[in-house]
Amino acid sequence: MEQPTPRHRPTGQYAAADPRRAAIIDAALVLFAKAGYLNSSLAKIAAEAGTSATVITHHFGSKQRLLMAVLEAREERTVRTFGRLDPGSGGGGSGHDVRALFQEVLALAAYNLTQPGLIELYTRLSAEAGDPAHPAHTYFTERYERVAHFLASALQRSVDAGQLRTGIDPESIAREILAVSDGLQVQWAIAEGRLDFVGLYRAHLDRLTQALTLDGKGLGEPTEAERLP
């Protein structure tokens, strides 16, 4: 699942206007994904981008600010494609239809598989960011709270609409969904993409749907968007 939505996104605007800035962000994304933030120097990023560390400092000021620019750029791409699932948009997502919500979540997971570097980036950074001193610690702390709140609110709407069983704990279920998603992403990265991430994630959400809904039905057939890879 995806990641705080900035109220202002200068990264995307500047990246579009400045190809060099965009190239630096792309190079940093690749290296952060492969080696992690702590093991990626500005010199290595500069070599990957075909520029110099001085130019990177001119555009971003520091490696820490470059990291945040990478995270914002990654989030921008997701929001452009799956804005309906953006917790920061204030939108209703899929209303109270939990099946539609889960199908959109699966479609997003399939889309992410077309950009494996992004999954590797999040897998590495989320592990590193467990250290409160890591520059992305606050980002991931806020991200988990934001996404968990979004999912819990959507589940509560389904309860209120009479689609889900009463007495369930939307917050706990939201945390479970996040845990399964992130856990499968870690295994997918370790298996170098050989794990059927979307299939396993779908099986979990299908069982969850059967257990939660009043009619006891699952998700039905996979949508076309779930078959992106």
pLDDT digits (tens, 9 = 90+) for 109-142: 998 888 788 888 888 888 889 999 999 999 999 9
* Residue position matching structure tokens 């991430």: 197
- Beta partners for residue 164, in sequence order: 213
Q: Decide: 152 and 174 in contact? Cβ < 8 Å.
A: yes
- What pLDDT does 90 receive? 47
What tokens appear for 53 in the block?
């560390």
Question: Which of 9, 5, 4 has the alpha carbon at shortest distance from 25?
Answer: 9
CA distance 136 to 46: 21
What residues in the chain have per-residue pLDDT under 70? 1-17, 81-95, 228-229
pLDDT of 158 reads: 94
pLDDT of residue 84: 59
**Domain with residues 10-227, CATH architecture:** Orthogonal Bundle (1.10)
What pLDDT is stored for residue 1 in this prediction?
52
pLDDT value for 13: 42
Digit-coded pLDDT (tens) for 180-199: 999 999 999 899 889 999 99
Instruction: Spell out where 35-137 has E strands.
Output: none
For the chain, give every domain's residue range: 10-227
Residue 35, pLDDT score: 85
pLDDT number for residue 223: 82
Ramachandran class of 220: left when φ > 0, alpha when ψ lies in -120 to 50, beta otherwise: left
